[in-house]
Structure 1
Amino acid sequence: EKNFNKRNKGKVVVFRVYNKTMVDYLADGKIFSVSDYVKLLDEGIGAFRARIVGEVSEVNPGPTGHIYFTLKDEKDEYLIRCVIWRGRYNLYGIRLTEGMKIIASGEPSLHPKYGFKFIAEVIEPAGEGILKKEYEALKKKLEAEGIFSPERKRPIPEFPRRVGLITSWNGAAINDFLNNLGKYGYQIKFIDSRVEGQAAVPELIGAIDYFIERGQIDVLVLIRGGGSLESLQAFNNETLVRRIASCPFPVICGIGHDKDVPLASLAADRAVSTPTAVTSVLNESWDRALADLSMFEKEIIYRYQEMLRKAEFSLEDFSNKLSGQFGIFFQNLEKLSNQLKDRLAEIDYSIRNIKRSFAVNRDLLLRGFKKWTDNTGIFLEGVEKQLKIFNPIYQLRFGYSLVYSRKKLVRSTEDVEVGDPLDIRVSDGKINSEVKGKTNYGKRGI
């Protein structure tokens, strides 16, 4: 039993090929049809994944956009027919030409109709010279479009909390990042992705697309350790660089490099060379706030101590002044107390005289008060009778009435107009009427 591991979208898929079963089939002398035998071979050879280096000798685009090409060995005349599907070919941004030396990663396949082919899942230029040339050409192209322009870069928000992180779970970069990240309540959303070589491109783009679709982060961080131009191919991929430039949130790249800065770092809003430096960028506003808070704390304590010293001095001065004022106050209080005693004695004497006078004149006062109340009662009875006689409401009992129009008493024909409503008040109620006509008798009256 042989095990072959293949990474696919962040997951590990294990393929098992039981060669013993194939041998058993052959040893039994079984007779196969052509199709059965081709299928049996295809199942077996599909497990032999490999990275093949060779020179491109023929390139034929298919009608559906897939690219069919041939790899030739430099030493011998051995050839292998290959195909890369349209989506993968466009993803890596490499245009295959005859004579180009590349590395193709994938697996062999034996098709019942079209025969043997090598299905390339990843293609990458072979050799530093070719990679350098491709790097410079793409850099020049993107610079002309303004992808790296400082004017389009966005500032990293102050006090970021929600951080999207893309890197490999197995690398040292993530440990450096987490160990140096300040304890400021960060919410880290992490996606495990390859970061080595051209094969990392689909996973990196998929991870960025995840954050673009889901959002809810303040800043996106891409990190990995240092490496050669070949190992950093994924970060020089045109599709990846454009995706970083179009992100709706700021992007920080912390990618180590020797000489040539990865194009992904040039497109990012902030680029540093190590994962630890990325944490410094994230911690910057928090560290500054913490330092300011410490300074404010010292300033508050200093001012408070200064206020206490001033208050202590003022309190002592006030105490001395208060002591002097209390001496004067108590002197005046004693003087007032003596004066109050004299006045109380005079009041007591006056009260005694009043009591004596009241006892003598009490009967006289009572007789005079009774006579006055009797006279007042007789006067009030007369007034009451006069009020009843002259009260207009009282007169209604004798056949008189009061006429109102719009809540105003009508005293003259000039107070109303034809059609005005009338309220006629009589002794036992109110009559609603309306002016049908009017006659003015002038000053002679009725």
Structure 2
Amino acid sequence: MTLMQKLISWQQDQARKEHLEPYMVLQFNTIKEIVRIEPKTHDELLRIKGIGPAKVRKYGDDILHIVRGNGVVGGEAQSSMDLFSEAEVVNDIALSSQNPKGAEVQFNPETGEVIEDKKDDSITVTEFVTMLDTMLRTNFRRVRVQGEVVGFKQNANGHAYFQIKDKDSVLRCTVFRSNYELSGIQLEDGMEIIITGQPSYHKQYGFGFMGNTLELYGEGALKKAYDDLKKKLSEEGLFSSEKKRVLLQLPEKIGLITSRTGAAIGDFTSNVGQYGYKIIFHHTSVEGAYALRDIKSALEEMAKKDIDVLVLVRGGGSLESLQAFNNETIIRMITDFPVPVIVGVGHDEDETLATLVADVGASTPTGAARSVRESWDACDKRVQNYESIIINTFDKVLQQQKHVIAHIERNIFAQFTTLTEHFSQVFHRFFLSVQKIDTHIQSQKVHIQQSQEKIHQHFQYSLDNVKRAFDITYFIKSVATRITYIKEKLYTYEKTLTHNDPQRQLALGYSIARNVKGNVIRKKDDIIKDDVLFVQVSDGEILTKVSK
């Protein structure tokens, strides 16, 4: 933007903020002088006609920032006018009558304002056109204009040029390629449309209208465009069930696109259930001139998010108000979205193309919420069923165990009764046994006393024997007697051994025959023919064989 455009734009904005007419902020001739002189200080601003100390204090910092090319800044720095009185400023101005570019400027010594000279104050065509274009863009920033398309054409870059007219007037329009493609409308002469944008005045081409969005006007045109696109998408198979993706079971991260001010968001959030979702919300217009652009931007942003399912909802409306959801660009973005998409638009009678191509098409925002919670509800129902089964099974087992316990209780009681009776019998027998034991103990006491007397007598006898054993004379006599007795025994044993010695028998001419096993042959039946025998004689052993 040129300096004049920036100053005029600032003038218009400031006037709106203060609820003033623009000329009350700065007159156009004053703006021209600012552009011509390009002041750098507050003192230089004061030399311009139409700017006094009050305006310098109020607007000086903003104007200087614009002149320096920095745009409008809030003016936090302290103005030099706050440091001096008006009289001092007037005196300073009176001392210097030269402007920065050397032009002679006359000042009023009392007010300090520049005295307007009488020369021509005309402006150039470019200055006027620039001012006019700035004022148009500033005061008509978003206008919706309805009319019939005539003279439509597209250049090689895809930009659309046409006129719209009514019975009295014609308006030249331009729509750049990106906005034209986003609209999803193939313009033809004779179409009734609504174009949204702003007027402009180009230096070469004159007055025109720069369109941002296009809408078809009239139910007939909208219905025809709807039917044509529906047929096209159907032929591509985008409505077939094979194209639909299955929703993730138990989704946790939900992407939600709708308007924060509409009823749809309340319908969805109040019906989606309390299952601990993480809902990533993106506010967007869902109706009007900028709905297409907003929804497209929202889809692009949501495609970057980590979500399990995307939900796009809005309330019902006419075919005209639902145009954004019958737009080909939006529809193809839905089909290409990285995760399954649920679209819930309008009421039961509303059927948008976005609903038809979505992985799950719901007739209302409430229906979309139910689609999200469906797997959670099924899971919750299964949990409830399992809970009922567990409780019923537990109750059944509990009743069975109660019967078992009652039966065991009866058995225990019967056995306890039997044990009690048996214990009584045992106790009686025990009592009798105790009596017998007591009698036996008394008997044993008597026996022990008798045994003690016998032991005492035996001990006394043994003690006497020990005393006798220690008597030396008696001991020697006993040993001698014992030795004599042993000698006699040894002699007897010697005679017996000599008489029975086998060598003695062999020396007398006897022999001993044994078989190979070493067994002594005692009779002839102990041998047979061909047996080998060992015959022992007094001086050796003879090996022989039985021949007969």
Name the CA shift for 1:168/1:30 in 2 (closer, same or farther; >3 Å).
farther
Render the CA deviation track for 1:360-412: whole Å, top value 9, x for unaligned.
9xxxxxxxxxxxxxxxxxxxxxxxxxxxxxxxxxxxxxxxxxxxxxxxxxxxx
SS at 1:178's partner residue?
helix
Given the superposition, is the C-alpha separation of residues 123 and 23 from structure 1 closer, same or farther in structure 2, using an over 3 Å criterion? Answer: farther
Read off the aligned partner of 1:271 and give its amino acid letter: G
Q: Which amino acid aligns with 1:206?
A: S
| Structure 2 SS opposite 1:143 | helix
Post-superposition Cα deviations, 1:97-138, rounded to whole Å, max 9, x if no partner, equal 222222111001122233222100011222111111111111
Instruction: Name 1:419's counterpart in structure 2.
Output: none
Deviation of residue 305 (structure 1)?
Answer: 2.8
1:325 is aligned to 2:322: no
Tell me the TM-score normalised to structure 2 length.
0.56
User: What's the counterpart of residue 54 of structure 1?
Assistant: 147
Aligned counterpart for 1:75 among listed residues 159, 164, 167: 167
Aligned equivalent of 2:248: 157
1:282 aligns with 2:372: yes
Q: Quick one: which amino acid aligns to residue 379 of structure 2?
A: A
Asked if residue 134 in structure 1 is aligned to residue 225 in structure 2, the reply is yes
- In structure 1, the residue matched to 2:13 is 16
Report the equivalent of 2:403.
313
Which range moved further: 15-24 or 290-299? 15-24
Partner of 1:266: 356
Q: Give the 3-state SS of the residue equivalent to 1:277 in structure 2.
A: helix
Counterpart in the other structure of 2:203: 112
CA 1:328–1:258: 2 relative to 1, 3 Å: closer
Structure 2 counterpart of 1:414 = none
Q: Give the Å deviation of 1:17.
A: 7.3
C-alpha separation in 2, matches of 1:17 and 1:92: 35
Task: Tell me if the contact between 1:227 and 1:258 (Cα under 8 Å) persists in the aligned partners.
Answer: no
Deviation at 1:181, TM superposition (A): 2.9
Partner of 1:168: 259
- How far residue 331 of structure 1 moved from its aligned partner, in angstroms, is 6.5
C-alpha offsets along residues 53-90 of structure 1, whole Å, 9 cap, x if unaligned? 2222212323432222222x2312x3222111111111
* Alpha-carbon displacement from aligned partner over 1:165-186 (angstroms, at most 9, x marks no partner): 1111111211222233322212
**Separation in structure 2 between the aligned mates of residue 291 and residue 132 of structure 1, nearest angstrom:** 43
Query: Does the alignment pair 1:200 with 2:291?
Result: yes
2:252 aligned partner, one-letter code = R
For 1:224 and 1:24, how far apart are their aligned partners in 2? 48
Q: 1:274 to 1:340 in 2, by over 3 A?
A: farther
Decide which of 292, 304, 312 is 1:222's aligned counterpart: 312
Cα offset, 1:148, TM superposition: 0.9
2:65 maps to which residue? none
Query: For residue 25 of structure 1, what is the aligned residue in structure 2?
Result: 28
The structure having more radius of gyration, on CA atoms, is 2
Q: Counterpart of 1:311 in structure 2: which amino acid?
A: Q
CA RMSD of aligned residues (A): 3.5
Identity %: 40
State the distance in 2 between where 1:103 and 1:296 align: 59
The answer (yes or no) to whether the contact 1:180–1:279 under 8 Å persists in 2 is yes
State whether residues 148 and 192 of structure 2, in contact with CA within 8 Å, keep that contact through their aligned partners in structure 1.
Answer: yes
Secondary structure at 1:292's aligned position in 2?
helix
Unaligned runs of 5+ in 1: 1-14, 361-446
Match of 1:428 in 2: none
Q: Whole-Å Cα distance in 2 between the matches of residues 246 and 340 of structure 1?
A: 102
CA drift of 1:268 comes to 0.7
Greater RCO, CA 8 A, separation 6+: 1
Amino acid at match of 1:293: V
Cα deviation digits, residues 316-357 of structure 1 (max 9, x gap): 221222233345556667759959989999xx99xx9xx99x
Counterpart of 1:113, as a letter, is Q
Q: Does 1:41 align with 2:132?
A: yes
1:249 aligns with 2:246: no
SS in 1 for 2:210: strand
**2-structure distance, mates of 1:312, 1:191:** 60
> Which protein is richer in strand relative to its size?
1
Aligned-partner SS, 1:213:
coil
Distance 2:126 2:434 in 1: 137
**Offset at 1:315?**
1.7
Q: Deviations over 1:126-169 (max 9, x none)?
A: 21111111111111111111111111112233322221111111
Q: Does 2:154 correspond to 1:88?
A: no
Q: Assess if the C-alpha contact under 8 Å between 2:348 and 2:363 holds in 1.
A: no
Find the counterpart in structure 2 of residue 303 from structure 1.
393
Q: SS of the counterpart of 1:195?
A: coil
